[in-house]
Structures are given as structure tokens and as C-alpha cells.
């Protein structure tokens, strides 16, 4: 800040000169005292000058609406929206979101620092303030092949550069608890720079949780129960109450929020598809749910604003107070949170649900060409099982957690698995796409419901190899080959014919189309998946499948290296 800017700010705050913008007739949410203040908000350039009685060169009449600080999503993966950073900004800003803490973990596992650099540059082209974290686990685990390796020594300069806000979710919680050297080196890169470290520790408790918190890991978004939540808060950690497209913990965890611990509670989406944003909103929807679950609305707003700002050391935002960023949201009431006006840095960027700024997109060509598949053929999808009993990944409702299920199977004379239409058990395979290893791992999936054809994705958390499921090898192989030809994304096949698809040219993870186009295409994919492939109506066909390779979420998953028991942290034989 220059001296003349500071002088102007003080003059506006004192009332000596008119503000650049005054928001009049509003009810200001004071997240510090937990009260509502009737008054005007004066803005000087990009900062709030004061709350009181003011005149301005430009006046926004709030007409009695509530004014709150801009909402802050404390943890989100942009890639999971299937759109670019610029497009995500266009979608969420009209819902009151002005800042997000983004972990580009997905694209980093495909393209390394090339992908992170693309995300940083694309993020500069939206009004949404995107604070980018440095992914901590590339590869996510040692049990799969990814497109890049980022070690502690690679993190030092990027962390010092100031372009990255902290260290992304540390999914290798066993490595933290056991004090592995390479893990400690990564943690120290962030600690020595005074940066925030995000956590990911499902099921961790007792002394192991103490060890995790002692490593300066500040947050967790993987609490399954109120006890998990309270255990982490008692250790000084912030808990994120997640409401995304696949994982929805908010209603459950809201029951554990109290006036005493609410200052360590945050709101986040983690993974959210465009359809969700366009139909029910973003953090505005989370606030509605909080109030439905009997959390005081001002406490809920504080969870979406001040708490996140304090957690991530964003001292310039999180409240409506003198000297802070003029990130302001106007909405109708403290129950529905229907957002009308959104200001970021003192500029009105959304009105009535519409993003007002022009959009230009950064060139994403550096992320193309991310498919390097060696010697793939239909023969690699054969599954030999020397038993009538086998382990299957069993899909559980409502999330990405699976169970390890023993199933009875049919085999041919060569002991190869034979699909039985009367049983909801099918082949699932992961095809390595980054390093030309030729790896193809084949397992069994229960509860998906598919009865025809195949579906293949290049979105397969967290290393994003190709994952395919189907009822016959011909359609599965065809789906994989056509997916590679279209440069990644989603493809549905029946009788060796593509019946629906969505290309994702940005690293095989994101579309370069609009959010509306992506939402419409996904709706079509879901309809075709349910009607023509007979995937269970209770299963979200895309997001469910893309988490079946996530080898950090219990209980059983599959990577390009084989069937992995997450609870025992080891590969297992398919024979039960």
C-alpha cells in the first residue's frame, strides 16, 4: 500500500471524503461479536473503510439485505468440477464464494509442476481469489504409478516463491505417524516457511492422532463421526465440514458443533461437480444446511468466513471491518441465503446469480498428451481365479468408502472369471497411462449394477490412470482404446459402439467447455449409464467409479499394481 492510498482510506473511514462505493440500507453480519449491525459499508478502492453512516460516489442500495464477508471454501479440488479454474470462478462467485483454498493434487499427479503452473496461470483470470496449495503426495501413494514425482527437494523453491499458499492434504498419514524421513522432509519445507499444512487422516485416533497433530498438520476433512471431529478439535486442529457431490458429512458433523468449538469448524466442498453448483449451489447451500441442523446462522457464516481466514492466515479478509478486503456478499435472509450481489476487492462481480465479468481462458495445451499406454490389449483384461470364492470391492452407499466382500463366482475351464447376469459382480480394471509400464490390474466390483457394455474414465483418484468396468472384455477394451483416442474423459460403450462420451482435454481431467455444457453432458452420461448400461439408480456412475482406485480410503481398492487392502496397507490376492 502506498501512503496516498492509506491517506485516502483513512479519510474515507473518518467521513472527510466520500467513499468510492457505499452499500446502503444493509444489515451487516458482525462475525466478531455475533450480532447484526444496521448501517452503511464504505469502500475505498479495494478495501473496506468502515461501517456506519457514509456517502459515496457510487451507491448500492441493499434494500435491507444482509451483508456478510465473502465466503471461503477451505478445501477444494478444482479438477473434480471437470471445468477449468476460470470457469469454476464463473460458477461459484454468484453463490457468494470469493476465496477458495485449492489443492491441485489431481493435475499434479498427471502433469507434475507443468500442471500446477497451468492452474496458477489460469487462476489469475478469474475474480475468484484462488489460493493454491502445493500437493504433498505426488504420487499419492507408493502403491500406484502416477505421471510425476514431487519430492521434498522439489518443493523448496516453489514454496519460497510465494505463489503457493501452503502444503496440500497429507494423505500419507501412516508415514507421518511413523516418522518416515521423506515425509518429515516435506513437512519441514512448509514448517520452515511458516505455511499451513492440510490434513487427511480417516480413522486416526489416540496417540497416532497426537503424532499427526504434533507434525503441525492443521486441518482435516475426513471426519466420519462427531467423535472424530471432537478428537481433532481437542488437539487444536480445524475440522472441515464437507458438503460435496460425493462425500457429504455436513449434516452428520453439524451435530457436534457447539458455541465453544465452532471457531475450529470450517466449511468445504472438497470435490464438487458443476451440476451440483448449478442446481443447489456451493457454500450458500452449506449455510442452509447448517441452519437446518440448528447451528446459529451467524456461527455458520463465521465457519464460512472468519474461521477459514484465521486458519489459513488470511489476515486481510474474513469479516466486514475497516482495512480488510472488500469481499462482500448480499443475501436475503439468514435461512435461505439466496445471494444477490457479490463484491470482490470492492468491485461488483455478480448480481442476481450472474457473473458480470468477461472471461478469457489460459492456454491449456501444456497439459495435453498425457496418455502413454504400452501394449494394451483385450487379453490383459483376463482374470484368472483359482477359487470359487474371491474378494470384491463392494460399493457402500453415500460416499467413497468400500468394503472387502467375499463373493461366489463362476469360472470357465481355464479358471477365468465368467460374468453372471444374475449376480451384481463385474470386472474392474486399472490401466496405467503415464509411464508406459504396460500395467493392467483386474479385480471385481460389487454393487455397481452394470448389466450391459462398459464405462471407462481417465479420472481415477489419485493417480488418474484409466479405470474401466464392464460385463465383457470386448466392450471394456474398446472403451479403453476409444478413451485414449479422444484424449481422456468419460466414455460409455455397448456392443463395441460409443453410446455417450465427454472429452476432457485438460490433462484428461477437465473439460474446456462451459459449466452448463459439462452439467448437461454429465446428465446425459448418467441417463445413458442407468438406462442403457443398467447401472444401479442409487449409484452415481462417474464419481463412484473414479474413487474405486483411491488407495487411501478404506477398505478395498484397486490400482494399476493390483488389489489393495487399505486397512492393512498391502496388496492381496483376489482368491478368498
Flag whether pLDDT at 399 surpasses 70. Answer: no
Residue 146 and residue 559 in contact, taking contact as beta carbons nearer than 8 Å: no
Mean pLDDT for the stretch of residues 495-521: 97
Q: Give the SS3 label for residue 473.
A: helix
Q: In this structure, what DSSP letter does residue 569 have?
A: T
Average pLDDT over the chain, rounded to an integer: 96
Residue 400: which pLDDT band, with cuts at 50, 70 and 90?
confident
Mean pLDDT for the stretch of residues 221-246: 96
HSE at residue 555, side-chain half, CA atoms within 13 A, is: 12
Flag whether pLDDT at 568 surpasses 70. Answer: yes
DSSP 80-120: GGTS-HHHHHHHHGGGTEEEEEE-THHHHHHHTHHHHHHHH
Summarize pLDDT for 404-451 with one digit per residue, the tens: 999 999 999 999 999 999 999 999 999 999 999 999 999 999 999 999
Summarize pLDDT for 164-180 with one digit per residue, the tens: 999 999 988 989 999 99
- Does this model's pTM top 0.85? yes
The domain spans of the chain are: 3-64, 69-333, 368-571
Flag whether pLDDT at 369 surpasses 80. Answer: no
Per cent of the chain over pLDDT 90 is 93
Flag whether pLDDT at 514 surpasses 70. Answer: yes
Summarize pLDDT for 79-127 with one digit per residue, the tens: 999 999 999 999 999 999 999 999 999 999 999 999 999 999 999 999 9
Residue 368: which pLDDT band, with cuts at 50, 70 and 90?
confident
Domains 3-64 and 69-333 share a fold: no
Task: State the Cα–Cα distance between residues 516 and 512, nearest whole angstrom.
Answer: 12
Mean pLDDT for the stretch of residues 242-247: 89
Task: State the Cα–Cα distance between residues 548 and 550, nearest whole angstrom.
Answer: 6
What is the enclosing helix (H) or strand (E) of 429?
strand 425-431
Summarize pLDDT for 331-353 with one digit per residue, the tens: 999 999 999 999 999 999 999 99
Flag whether pLDDT at 553 surpasses 90. Answer: no
439 backbone dihedrals φ, ψ, rounded to 5°: -65, 130
Question: For residue 155, which of 188, 122, 200, 201 has the smallest C-alpha distance?
Answer: 188
Label each residue of 20-80 as H, E or C. EEEEEEEEEEECCCCEEEEEEEEEECCEEEEEECCCEEEEEECCCCEEEECEEEEEECHHH
Residue 398 confidence (pLDDT): 65
Flag whether pLDDT at 376 surpasses 80. Answer: yes
Flag whether pLDDT at 466 surpasses 90. Answer: yes
CA quadruple 150, 152, 155, 159: dihedral sign: positive
Residue 558 confidence (pLDDT): 97
Q: In what order do the strands lie in the sheet with 265-268?
A: 219-220, 238-242, 265-268
Residue 247 confidence (pLDDT): 84
Class of domain 69-333: alpha beta
Class of domain 3-64: mainly beta
Residue 1 confidence (pLDDT): 86
Residue 52: which pLDDT band, with cuts at 50, 70 and 90?
very high
Amino acid at each position: 500500500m502506498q501512503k496516498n492510498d492509506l491517506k485516502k482510506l483513512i479519510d474515507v473511514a473518518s467521513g472527510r471524503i466520500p467513499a468510492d462505493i457505499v452499500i446502503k440500507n444493509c444489515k451487516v453480519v458482525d462475525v466478531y461479536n455475533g450480532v447484526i449491525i444496521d448501517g452503511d459499508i464504505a469502500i475505498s478502492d479495494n478495501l473496506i473503510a468502515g461501517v456506519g453512516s457514509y456517502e459515496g460516489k457510487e451507491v448500492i442500495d441493499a434494500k435491507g439485505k444482509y451483508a456478510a464477508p465473502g465466503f471461503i471454501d477451505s478445501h477444494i479440488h478444482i479438477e473434480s468440477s471437470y471445468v477449468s479454474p476460470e470457469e469454476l470462478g464463473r460458477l461459484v462467485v454468484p453463490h457468494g464464494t470469493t476465496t477458495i483454498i485449492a489443492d491441485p493434487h489431481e493435475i499434479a499427479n498427471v502433469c507434475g509442476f507443468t500442471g500446477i503452473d497451468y492452474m496458477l496461470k489460469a487462476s489469475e483470470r478469474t475474480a475468484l481469489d484462488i489460493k493454491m496449495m502445493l500437493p504433498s503426495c505426488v504420487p499419492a501413494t507408493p502403491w500406484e504409478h502416477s505421471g510425476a514425482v514431487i519430492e521434498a527437494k522439489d518443493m523448496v523453491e516453489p514454496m519460497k516463491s510465494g505463489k503457493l499458499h501452503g502444503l496440500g492434504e497429507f494423505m500419507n498419514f501412516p508415514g507421518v505417524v511413523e516418522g518416515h524421513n521423506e515425509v518429515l522432509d516435506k513437512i519441514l519445507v512448509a514448517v520452515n516457511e511458516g505455511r499451513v499444512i492440510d490434513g487427511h487422516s480417516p480413522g486416526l485416533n489416540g496417540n497416532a492422532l497426537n503424532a499427526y497433530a504434533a507434525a503441525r498438520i492443521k486441518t482435516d476433512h475426513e471426519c466420519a463421526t462427531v467423535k472424530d471431529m471432537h478428537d481433532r478439535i481437542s488437539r487444536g486442529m480445524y475440522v472441515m465440514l464437507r458438503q460435496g457431490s460425493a462425500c457429504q458429512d455436513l449434516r452428520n458433523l453439524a451435530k457436534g458443533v457447539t458455541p465453544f468449538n465452532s471457531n475450529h469448524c470450517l466449511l468445504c466442498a472438497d470435490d464438487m461437480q458443476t451440476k451440483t453448483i448449478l442446481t443447489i449451489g456451493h457454500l450458500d447451500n452449506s449455510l442452509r444446511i447448517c441452519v437446518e441442523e440448528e447451528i446459529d446462522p451467524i456461527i455458520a457464516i463465521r465457519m464460512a468466513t472468519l474461521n477459514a481466514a484465521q486458519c489459513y492466515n488470511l489476515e486481510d479478509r474474513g469479516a466486514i471491518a475497516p482495512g480488510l478486503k472488500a469481499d462482500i456478499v448480499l443475501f436475503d435472509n439468514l435461512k435461505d441465503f439466496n445471494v444477490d450481489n457479490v463484491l470482490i476487492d470492492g468491485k461488483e462481480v455478480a448480481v442476481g446469480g450472474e457473473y458480470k465479468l468477461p472471461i478469457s481462458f489460459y492456454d491449456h495445451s501444456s497439459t495435453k498428451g498425457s496418455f502413454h499406454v504400452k501394449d494394451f490389449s483385450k487379453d490383459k483384461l483376463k482374470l484368472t481365479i483359482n477359487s470359487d470364492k474371491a474378494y470384491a470391492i463392494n460399493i457402500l452407499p453415500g460416499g467413497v468408502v468400500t468394503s472387502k466382500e467375499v463373493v461366489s463366482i463362476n469360472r470357465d475351464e481355464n479358471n477365468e472369471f465368467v460374468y453372471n447376469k444374475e449376480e451384481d459382480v463385474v470386472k474392474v480394471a486399472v490401466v496405467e497411462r503415464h509411464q508406459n509400464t504396460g500395467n493392467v490390474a483386474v479385480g471385481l466390483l460389487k454393487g455397481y449394477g452394470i448389466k450391459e457394455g462398459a464405462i471407462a474414465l481417465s479420472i481415477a483418484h489419485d493417480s488418474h490412470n484409466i479405470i474401466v468396468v464392464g460385463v465383457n472384455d470386448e466392450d471394456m477394451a474398446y472403451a479403453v482404446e476409444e478413451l485414449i483416442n479422444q484424449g481422456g474423459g468419460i466414455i460409455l460403450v455397448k456392443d463395441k459402439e460409443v453410446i455417450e462420451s465427454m472429452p476432457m482435454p485438460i490433462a484428461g481431467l477437465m473439460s474446456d467447455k462451459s459449466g452448463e455444457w459439462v452439467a448437461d453432458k454429465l446428465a446425459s452420461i448418467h441417463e445413458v449409464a442407468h438406462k442403457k448400461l443398467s447401472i444401479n439408480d442409487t449409484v452415481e456412475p462417474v464419481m463412484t467409479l473414479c474413487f474405486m482406485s483411491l488407495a487411501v480410503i478404506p477398505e478395498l481398492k484397486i490400482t494399476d499394481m493390483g488389489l489393495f487392502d487399505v486397512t492393512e496397507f498391502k496388496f492381496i490376492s483376489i482368491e478368498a
